[in-house]
């Protein structure tokens, strides 16, 4: 039985506590979001992007409602500080429906997005390519490819998009990038490496490695059904590691674990994580997990270090972003920076996609002071 998506659960819980959260955000000095059409103020540099291909021609921004603007700030977790810069889209897009998750990946210095909206079939059946210019997302190209179920791009420009039963491959450098060049007999979320010829498909029973034209179901080492897990609910590929969340037994508690590409366990959390459906990233000397309105930090061996406070208290994520945002994807930039891609919504209107450039100071996670109640 498929579990409810964390985006729907978190949105319901977040909106239910909106009054408390807004009070907390306001008290911490972070302004709430507002709808204006002017460009945002920016105090930091734009995300780095490689030179655009000559064939890429900027498209005129379509007419539409103005995007929401955010008064971003800082968030300190333990001794570690995160800073946010809002990168607005050219026009407000809306996402909605049972699985209104934002899929995104990067290639050739640009960023590719899929915005699912059950009330907008044309938007849902397309993938949108953007470049970041002058601290804004500028449209480059649109592809008639449905990426609403999964979207990933490997370093050679092969785009993976999932249909109901198969993962289809599209060559962005081919003569017809909208025509699939191959179909893989698997279905699941896709994650592609930018350092090697590798894509991982999150098959429900085991990760599938796609490399050098071969498909291999990877067996995670452990003494349970899926490695150490009774059930595995989340998987991300980050650098050369598989980051996972799952139940160690049928108790309902979920734990974080990291594996190498041979299936060997590298790290495991000593206490449950905040949510079964997590967005995860390997960072310098540790791991960052988004478990739904909270960010959690772990040491290289999986030891829990610190987390932001839940909605309604001080030091929440709305202090960083300026309002409630649910994140779906982390895209790495330079060593101490990444893009956080997600969506922002209110009870009275559909969600809209949002992108923030997150920078951190150079302190490593292992230098954080461990909480007194942490298990080592």
pLDDT of residue 38: 35
Q: Given this model, what pLDDT does residue 78 score?
A: 81
pLDDT at 26: 42
Determine the Cα–Cα distance for residues 332 and 104; give it in Å rounded to an integer.
Answer: 12
Quote the CA–CA distance of 213 and 221 in Å, as a whole number: 24
Query: Residue 224 has what DSSP assignment?
Result: B
Tell me, letter by letter, the H, E, C secondary structure of 165-202.
CCEEEEECCCCCCCCCCEEECCCCEEEECCCCCCEEEE
Cα–Cα distance between 187 and 167 in angstroms, integer? 6
State both tokens at 56. Answer: 């890429």
Specify the DSSP element, H or E, that contains 205.
Answer: none
The CA–CA distances, whole Å, from 43 to 33, 69, 135, 181, 334 equal 18, 15, 10, 43, 18
Of the candidates 347, 305, 302, 338, the one whose C-alpha atom is nearest the C-alpha of residue 320 is 338
Note the residue count of the chain: 376
Which percentage of the chain shows pLDDT scores above 90? Answer: 45
Instruction: Count how many Cα atoms sit within 13 Å of the Cα of residue 254 in the half-sphere of its side chain.
Output: 17
What is the pLDDT, as a whole number, of residue 312?
62
| Residue in the block written with tokens 């995104």 | 104
Per-residue model confidence as pLDDT tens digits over 146-182? 988 889 999 999 999 988 788 999 999 999 999 998 8
Q: What is the pLDDT of residues 312-342, one digit of tens each?
A: 666 688 889 888 888 999 999 988 899 999 9
C-alpha 68/C-alpha 89 separation (Å) is 9
pTM of the model: 0.80
SS3 label, residue 311: coil
**What's the pLDDT score for residue 130?**
97
Q: pLDDT under 70 in the chain at which residues?
A: 1-64, 97-100, 311-315, 347, 362-376
Maximum Cα–Cα distance for the chain, whole Å?
59
Task: Single out the residue of 145, 167, 148, 131 nearest to residue 48, CA to CA.
Answer: 131
Instruction: Give the CATH number of domain 6-367.
Output: 2.130.10
Res 362: pLDDT = 52
> Checking phi first, is residue 27 left (phi over 0); if not, alpha (psi -120 to 50) or beta?
alpha
> Burial letters for 241-277: b for 16+ Cβ neighbours within 10 Å, e otherwise?
bbbbbbbbeeeeebbbbbbebebebebbbeebbbbbb
Residue 26 tokens read as 């306001």
pLDDT digits (tens, 9 = 90+) for 29-55: 333 444 333 333 333 333 344 444 444
What is residue 98's predicted lDDT score, i.e. its pLDDT? 58
Cα(142)–Cα(135) distance, integer angstroms: 21
The three-state DSSP-derived secondary structure of 99-166 is: CCCEEEEEECCEEEEEECECCCHHHHCCEEEEEEECCEEEEEEEECCCCCCCEEECCCCEEEEECCCC
The CA–CA distances, whole Å, from 375 to 269, 271, 282, 301 equal: 9, 7, 21, 12
């Amino acid at each position: 039985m498929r579990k409810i998506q964390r985006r729907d659960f978190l949105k319901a819980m977040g909106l239910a506590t909106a009054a408390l959260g807004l009070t907390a955000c306001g008290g911490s000095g972070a302004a709430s979001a507002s709808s204006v059409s002017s460009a945002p103020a920016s105090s930091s540099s734009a995300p780095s992007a490689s030179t655009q291909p000559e064939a890429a021609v900027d498209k005129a921004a379509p007419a539409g409602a103005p995007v929401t603007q955010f008064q971003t700030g800082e968030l300190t977790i333990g001794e570690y500080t995160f800073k946010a810069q809002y990168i607005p889209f050219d026009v407000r897009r809306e996402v909605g429906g049972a699985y209104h998750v934002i899929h995104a990946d990067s290639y050739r210095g640009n960023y590719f997005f899929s915005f699912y909206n059950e009330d907008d079939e044309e938007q849902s059946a397309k993938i949108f390519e953007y470049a970041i210019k002058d601290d804004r997302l500028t449209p480059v190209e649109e592809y008639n490819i449905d990426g609403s179920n999964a979207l990933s791009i490997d370093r050679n420009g092969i785009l993976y998009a999932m249909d109901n039963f198969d993962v289809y491959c599209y060559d962005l450098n081919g003569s017809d990038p909208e025509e699939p060049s191959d179909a893989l007999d698997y279905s699941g979320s896709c994650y592609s490496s930018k350092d090697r010829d590798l894509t991982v498909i999150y098959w429900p029973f085991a990760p599938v490695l796609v490399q050098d034209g071969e498909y291999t179901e990877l067996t995670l080492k452990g003494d349970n059904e899926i490695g150490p897990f009774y059930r595995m609910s989340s998987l991300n590929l980050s650098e050369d590691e598989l980051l996972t969340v799952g139940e160690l037994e049928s108790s309902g508690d979920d734990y974080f674990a990291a594996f190498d590409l041979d299936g060997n366990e590298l790290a495991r959390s000593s206490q449950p994580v905040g949510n079964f459906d997590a967005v995860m990233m390997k960072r310098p000397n540790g791991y960052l997990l988004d478990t739904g309105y909270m960010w959690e930090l772990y040491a290289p061996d999986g030891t829990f270090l610190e987390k932001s406070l839940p909605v309604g208290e001080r030091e929440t994520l709305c202090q960083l972003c300026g309002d409630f945002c649910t994140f779906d994807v982390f895209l790495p930039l330079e060593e101490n920076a990444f893009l956080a891609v997600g969506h922002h919504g209110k009870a009275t209107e559909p969600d809209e996609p949002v992108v923030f450039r997150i920078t951190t100071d150079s302190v490593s996670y292992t230098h954080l002071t461990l909480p007194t109640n942490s298990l080592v």
